[in-house]
Structure 1
Amino acid sequence: MSCSSSSGSEEDDEGFDSYRKGGYHAVRVADQFAGGRYIAQRKLGWGQFSTVWLAYDTHSSSYVALKIQKSAAEFVQAALHEINVLSSIGDGGPANSKCVVQLIEHFKHTGPNGQHLCMVLEFLGDSLLRLIKYNRYKGLPLNKVKEICKCILIGLDYLHRELGIIHTDLKPENILLFSTIDHSKDPCRSGLSPIIERPEGNINGGVTSLIEKRLKRRARRAVAKISLRDSLGGAGEAPKSARNIDGIDVRCKIVDFGNACWADKPLAEEIQTRQYRAPEVILKAGYSFSVDMWSFACIAFELATGDMLFTPKGGGQGFCEDEDHLALMMELLGKMPRKIAIAGAQSKDFFDRHGDLKRIRRLKFWPLDKLLIDRYKFSEKDAREFSEFLLPLFDFAPEKRPTAEQCLQHPWLNCLE
Structure 2
Amino acid sequence: MDLLCCWAMEEQMQEEVLAAQHPGGHHPVQEGEVFNTRYQALCKLGCGAFATVWLCQDMRRKKHVAVKILKSREGFAEAAQDEVALLRCVSGMKKKDRAGENIVCLLDDFRMIGENGFHMCLVFEALGPSLRCLMNNYTAQGLPLPFVKKSLQQVLAGLHFLHKRCCIIHTDIKPENILLYGRDKSLQRLLPDVLNCSQRTDLKVTGPGGDLGNQLEESDLMSIEVKVADLGSACWTYKPFSKEIQTQPYRALEVLLGLDYGTPVDIWSTGCLAFEMATGERLFDPQPGKYFSRDDDHVARIIELLGRIPPKIAFSWNKSTKFFSRPGALLRLSRLSPRSLHSVLADRHGWTKHDLAAFTSFLLPALHYAPERRATASRCLQHAWLAAP
TM-score, length-normalised on structure 1? 0.83
- Secondary structure, counterpart of 1:105 in structure 2: strand
Specify the alignment match of 2:36 in structure 1. Answer: 34
C-alpha distance in 2 between matches for 1:169 and 1:137: 25
- Letter of the 2:45 counterpart: L
Separation in structure 2 between the aligned mates of residue 97 and residue 261 of structure 1, nearest angstrom: 17
When residues 310 and 58 of structure 1 are mapped into structure 2, their CA distance, relative to the original with a 3 A threshold, is: same
Tell me, yes or no, if the aligned pair for 1:105 and 1:120 is still in contact at 8 Å. Answer: yes
- Equivalents in 2 of 1:221, 1:69: separation in Å? 23
Decide which of 14, 17, 28 is 1:14's aligned counterpart: 17
Structure 2 residue aligned with 1:196: none
- Deviation of 1:2 (Å): 3.2
Question: Is contact 1:53–1:66 with CA below 8 Å preserved after alignment?
Answer: yes
Alpha-carbon distance in 2 for matches of 1:377, 1:350: 34
Unaligned runs of 5+ in 1: 193-205, 207-212, 223-240
The 1-side partners of 2:30 and 2:145 are apart by 42
The farther-off stretch of 344-353 and 264-273 is 344-353
How far apart in 2 are the matches of 1:68 and 1:170?
22
The answer to whether structure 1 residue 183 and structure 2 residue 183 are counterparts is no
Structure 1 residues 221 and 362: CA distance shift in structure 2, 3 A: farther
Matching residue of 1:353: 326
1:115-159 deviation per Cα after TM superposition (whole angstroms, max 9, x unaligned):
211111011111111111132453011101001100100110000
Q: 2:224 aligns with which of 226, 238, 250?
A: 250
Cα deviation digits, residues 290-317 of structure 1 (max 9, x gap): 000000000000000111111111130x
- Asked if structure 1 preserves the Cα contact closer than 8 Å seen for 2:129 and 2:191, the reply is no
The 5 Å alignment of 1:308-323 reads: 308-316=282-290, 318-323=291-296
Partners of 1:355 and 1:136 in 2: how far apart?
34
- Provide the residue aligned with 1:267 in structure 2: 241
CA distance in 2, matches of 1:181, 1:33: 31
Q: Give the conservation status (yes or no) of the 8 Å contact 2:133–2:203.
A: no
Decide which of 284, 293, 299 is 1:326's aligned counterpart. 299
| 1:178 Cα offset (Å) | 1.5
1:62 is displaced (CA, Å) by: 1.1
For residue 140 of structure 1, what is the amino acid of its counterpart?
L
Q: Which residue of 2 aligns with 1:226?
A: none
How far residue 358 of structure 1 moved from its aligned partner, in angstroms, is 2.1
What is the match of residue 128 of structure 2? 125
d(CA) in 1 for partners of 2:110, 2:386: 41
Q: Distance in 1 between matches of 2:79 and 2:191?
A: 30
Aligned counterpart in structure 2 of residue 296 of structure 1, from 256, 270, 280: 270
Matched to 2:169, the amino acid is I
Taking the aligned partners of 2:294 and 2:203, their CA distance within structure 1 comes to 21
Please give the alpha-carbon distance, in whole angstroms, between the structure 1 residues aligned to 2:78 and 2:215. Answer: 43
Over the aligned positions, Cα root-mean-square deviation in angstroms equals 2.7
Number of matched pairs: 371
Match of 1:23 in 2: 25
Q: Deviations over 1:145-176 (max 9, x none)?
A: 00110010011000001111001111110110
Task: Assess, with a 3 A threshold, how the Cα gap between structure 1 residues 392 and 157 changes in structure 2: closer, same or farther.
Answer: same
Which string of whole-angstrom CA distances, capped at 9 and with x for unpartnered residues, describes residues 89-122 of structure 1? 1011247743001100111112111121111101
**Aligned residues of 1:7 and 1:44 also touching (Cα < 8 A):** no
For 1:314, give the aligned amino acid: P
CA distance in 2, matches of 1:43, 1:96: 31
Counterpart in the other structure of 2:308: 335
After TM superposition, give the deviation of residue 184 of structure 1 in Å: 5.0
